[in-house]
Each structure stands twice: as C-alpha cells, then as structure tokens.
Amino acid sequence: MIDFKKKINIVPRWIIASLDGLIMFQSALLAFWLRVNFDWSDMEHFNVFRGALVYFLAGLLAMFFTKSYVGIVRHTSMRDGLILLRTIAITAGIITILNLILANFLEGRSHIVPFSVLIIAAVLTSFSLMLYRLIVKDIFRLLRSNAEPNLPRRKVVIYGAGEAGILTHQAIAKDSQYKFVTYGFLDDDPSKKGMKIEGRSVHGSLEVLEDLVKRKGINELIISILELPAERKREIIDQCIALGIHVMTITPVNQWVDGGKQPGSLREVNIEDLLGRDAIILNNKRVINYLNGKTILVTGAAGSIGSELCRQIARASPGFLIMLDIAESPLHDHEIRMEREFKDLRLHSVLGDVTDIKSLRRIMENYQPEAIFHAAAYKHVPMMEKYPEASVRCNVLGTKNMADLAVAYGVEKFVLVSTDKAVNPTNVMGASKRIAEMYVQCKNSMRINTSNEPTRFITTRFGNVLGSNGSVIPLFREQIKNGEPVTVTDSRITRYFMTIPEACDLVLEAGVMGNGGEIFVFDMGNPVKIIDLARKMIHLSGKIPDVDVPIRITGLRPGEKLYEEVLNDAEKALETHHKKIKIAQVNPGSYAQVNREVDLLMNLVERENEMDLVAQMKKMVPEYISKMSRFEVLDGQKVEK
C-alpha cells in the first residue's frame, strides 16, 4: 500500500506521453473497426495500420504543442480536460490537412484516415484519455482514504452550496489530519434543495440540521459562505452550539493567495464572528483624501490599536509616517512588518517616551507632523490600580505633553484615543483617561476662545477591543489551549466589544470629520456577557463547557466594573453623518482650572503619595467612585482645594 506520509514519485512525462499516444493508436484501430460495422472482411479496403500509425504520430506532434502530458494525472481537473480536447482537435486538423494534400496533389491516392474514421477516433480518444485519468484519480483517492485507517473520522455538512462550498468539499477530501466524510450541503436558497453537488445532496437550510445530526451523527459543520450576514452567522453558530457540534469556516479569498492559504482552507470561527452586531463600515474615502500626502505621527504605534492605525494610515499613502513607542522589541517587529507590507511608504520609527518633553520636542522639530493620533497609554486596570503614579504620568502627563506640543508646532488635528472606562470611572486608569479627555477638550475650547491656536482637538471613546493585547479573548484562548479552567471574574459582568479595525476606523474617521472639541463614541449594540463569551469560545474549540473545560468564577478585580458605559448621566449624545457614530456632549470646563489641577497632579506624582494623588483625581472627576480598591476609603472624604 502507498505510504502517503512519504512523497509519492511523479511518473516521468515521457511515460505519460507514450501512454497517451498508445491510447490514440488503439482508438484509431477501433475507429476503423467501427467504421466497417465490425466486419473484418471490409477491413482490407483500408490500410488500417498505416492510418493508425499516422494518427499516433500526429497526436504526438499535437502533444508537443499543447503539453497535455505535463499535468499530474491524479490531479486532473477541468482545465486538463480542455487541454486534451485541444490536443485531439489539433491532431484531427493535422490529419485533415494530410488528407487534403493527398486528395489534391497526389491523384489516385486515398485518404490516410477517412473523415468518418477521424471523427470516430476523436470521440474515442477524448473518452479514453479522460476516463483513464479519472480512474487513476479515483484510485489515488481511494488509496489515500485507506492509507490512514486510524485517522479521526469527522462527519461533515457544509453550509453553502456555491463555488466556495465545492472548493471546501474538494479541499477537505485531501486533508491529511482527519478523515472527513461529507454528508451533503445546507443552503438558504430553496431552489437548490434536492440538488446534488459533487455527488452530495443539498438537504435544505438550517432547520434540517438537527435531523441530520440525529440520523447521520454529524459532528462538524463548515461555513463556506464568505459574505454571510453577521446575524445569520450567529444563528448558525448558536444552533451548532445547542446541538453540540463543532463549527468551522473557510479563510477569506484574499488569504488564498496573499496569505499563502489554499482555496477552501479551514479555520476556527474567530472572535469577530461572535460580535453581537454587524461590523460598522465607515466612509474611508474621506479618510484617504485627508491623510494622503500628509505627515502623520502615531504614538503607541506598536500597540494593538497603534499598529493597526499605522497600517490603515499607510494604505492612504501619507507623505511620511512617524511611529513612536517606548517598547523596543514590539516597535522593531512592527517596523519590519510595515516595511515589508508597504515598500514605497516613507516611514520612521522613533523609540521614545511621551512623558519625556525634551525628546518629544526634538521629534516635533525634526518631523513637523500635520496630524497626531495619540494612542500611547497604560490601559490595564488592575496594574494601574497598583501603580497610580505610573497611570497619571503616562495617561495624563503624556497626553498633556503631546497636546501642548501639537499647539506649539501648528499641528492641524490631534486625536486622543480614549476608553469607555473614562465614563463614571471606578478605577485609576479610567479616571486618568477622563482627565486626559478633559485636558484636550479644554485645549480646544481655548483655541475657540483665543482664536490663536490652530490645532483641533478630538477624542474617540470606545469599548473593549477584541483580540487586543491583554484583553479577555487571548486569555480565554490560552486557557482553553492549555486545558486550564477559564476564569471569569463575575457571572454578571458584561462588556461592549468592537474589533481592532473598527476601533481604528473610528479614530481615523473622527480625525477627518471632527471640527474640534468632540468626543466621538460608537453605537456598539448590546453588551455581551463575558461568561456567555467564554462558553461559546469553549464550544467553538470543540470542547464542552464545565465538562472538558471548567469555568471558574474568581471575583471582581480591583477597580473592575460589572458593566461599562459610553456616556455618563450628565452627557447627551448628538447625531452625526453616520447613524452608528454619536458625539458625547460634555462641558469642556475651564482650561486655566484644569491646567492648574493637572500641574498639582504632577507635583503629587513627584511626592509619591498615592492617597493624595488619587484624592486629587477624585476631586477633578467627582463621578470617580472606587470599586474593590484600597482607594474606597477616599470616597465621601472632603478634599481641600
């Protein structure tokens, strides 16, 4: 038996050409016999051997031009069939020319191959060449399926009876890790019900899945429709989870070539597929027109949001892109990826700290950016609860430094990347981001009041970003992979989620449409229960929650909320040109007062008295009420001005 774990030797081309020629020779002999209606006595009227030999030689000549013998027989496709037909047509053309030459220039000589025999021979040759190739292909498929009898058996139904579904069926038939057995297709198009594709039935739509699971023991569903609406995809995933079957999908078309994937390649359902709403698509044309040719500075450029911002900005062909970050290795890796992906882009990486005003001033002097996207921040709530001085230094002082320099160097627009944790904050991190929001809003109001500051200050505020560094999704994925319990802090906890591209779209769109002073927020649909997200991730990994993978409730961490908000009670949401984007109407306050209080914060950072520091933050943000934190003792305590 063939060992498919080892490389199978390819038959030399000359053998394929010889075999094809032999089939053509035999087809010509049979054509003569059919021509005389199987009467051997009539065969003597024709020079059968000469005619078959000429047909054979003409076929070899045609093969030389069409290269029909080059293809690997066991991988024969429709394209190979067309090449064979072209070979036979050229062969017939050569014979026809020889017949005409004999008839017109050599009187008394009969045709080498009569036209009737030529037609019969062409039909027989086409049938024989294709038949033997298909037989070889099926033999190899059978040998392959029997070569690994111990492979895990997967009973599959494919959702989507289109071209992608056919490619998926063909791809999984060649899989070397599992023995896939396809039990047919499902499709929402009622006209396809009852049809057969690749010998497999189209059973109907999603409502027949439960019956198939019971009758056929289906344990896998593959979604092969690339443009399936998010709501329908969620229905399919939920139905699979309810029936206890594993669900997968195929890779996007652009990854079939650019990503090195094969057509029909499978992947696990990713985090975006679990998003509780359709993806938000923004007006990218305006963004491209604004960014094109400009010098852009991105801070926090090596982070989850910053790196995607850089990629989206690069697609708009800016004049120059400066990527600033304090993390050496991530910035180095990001620079290499950017240079590889955008070979013609003028870009420069700067290893720097947003709290170092001297180095920032040199950067501004050297590059003179026209727009700044400020994504540099400390964001992990429990860590910032431990180190409030670091949170204030990075999130408040870093923002102040960048905002002040933006004005000093005439930057057109300054876009602050903020968070929904700044709304009614319960932790140091959220409060520090709210103070950063207040500062840039005051800078913008100062511009309006004095008319001598050119920079327009804009804030973007969004929820948790799926798959970003430190988010719950990578944690769950790692725990499931390692066979560890999945940890959820509270069964009631909910979060709004958005994808990294969506978050960056918001930042860029805000930078273009903002006139200054706005806080842009997304309508992110309904919040998602984290425990439900954990259960879905366990199911989609092919395991059963609380059986294969336990879920452990660990208790809320310091500063953690049960739910997040994008607006506080005092804020109103104004409509914009896009129904999914709102503007939080917030009183910007007095620049002089906010600036004075920020300076006081910085003095308290230097004094390293965290209680006084957090007390000052609570004074600046009265709605900041600590939760599960040592700073709860400050709530209700009167803070002297």
Q: Which of 142-146, 237-241, 403-407 is least confident?
A: 142-146
Q: Which of the four pLDDT bands, split at 50, 70 and 90, describes residue 260?
A: very low
Q: What is the mean pLDDT of residues 300-326?
A: 94
Q: Which of 18-32, 200-214, 229-243, 495-509 has the highest mean pLDDT?
A: 200-214
Q: Binning pLDDT at 50, 70 and 90, where does residue 299 land?
A: very high
Six-digit token string for 199? 């010998």
Lowest-pLDDT range of 133-142, 190-199, 578-587: 133-142
Please give the residue that has the higher pLDDT: either 174 or 611. 611
Q: Determine which helix (DSSP H) or strand (DSSP E) holds 464, and give its type and residue range.
A: strand 464-466
pTM above 0.75, yes or no: no
For the residues 422-426, what does the mean pLDDT come to? 91
Place of tokens 């033997």: 132
Side chain identity at residue 475, one-letter code: L
CB neighbourhood size of 507 (10 A): 29
3-class SS of residue 502: helix
3-class SS letters over 27-47: HHHHHHHHHCCCCHHHHHHCC
Query: In the chain, what are the domains?
Result: 13-146 (no CATH), 153-269 (3.40.50.720), 284-464+498-523+566-620 (3.40.50.720)
| DSSP calls for 221-265 | EEE--TT--HHHHHHHHHHHHHHT-EEEEEPPHHHHHTT-PPTT-
More confident residue, 96 or 601: 601
Amino acid at 415: V
Least confident of 2-11, 152-161, 221-230, 352-361: 2-11
Share of residues in the chain with pLDDT > 70 (%): 83
pLDDT per position as a tens digit, 16-39 = 788 888 888 888 888 878 877 766
* 449 Cβ contact list (under 8 Å, min separation 6): none
Residue 235: pLDDT band with limits 50, 70, 90: confident
Which single residue is written with the structure tokens 């017939």? Answer: 92
Mean pLDDT of 193-218: 90
Say if strands 246-250 and 266-268 run parallel, antiparallel, or are unpaired.
antiparallel
Judge whether residue 328 has pLDDT over 90: yes
The answer on pLDDT for 457 being more than 90 is yes
pLDDT over 80 (residue 579): no
- Encoded amino acid at 144, one letter: R
At 41, the pLDDT band (50, 70, 90 cuts) reads low
pLDDT winner (highest mean) among 78-82, 165-169, 212-216, 285-289:
212-216
Beta bridge partners of 295: 320
Mean local confidence (pLDDT), 45-58: 79
Confidence grade of residue 252 (pLDDT, cut at 50, 70, 90) = low
User: What is the percent of the chain with per-residue pLDDT over 90, rounded to a whole number?
Assistant: 35
Kindly report which listed range (34-38, 129-133, 156-160) carries the lowest average pLDDT score: 34-38
Helix (H) or strand (E) holding 78: helix 78-105
Instruction: Identify which of 148, 173, 179, 136 has the alpha carbon closest to the alpha carbon of residue 3.
Output: 148
pLDDT (0 to 100) of residue 258: 46
SS3 552: strand
Q: Give the model's confidence band at 639: pLDDT under 50 very low, under 70 low, under 90 confident, else very high.
A: very low
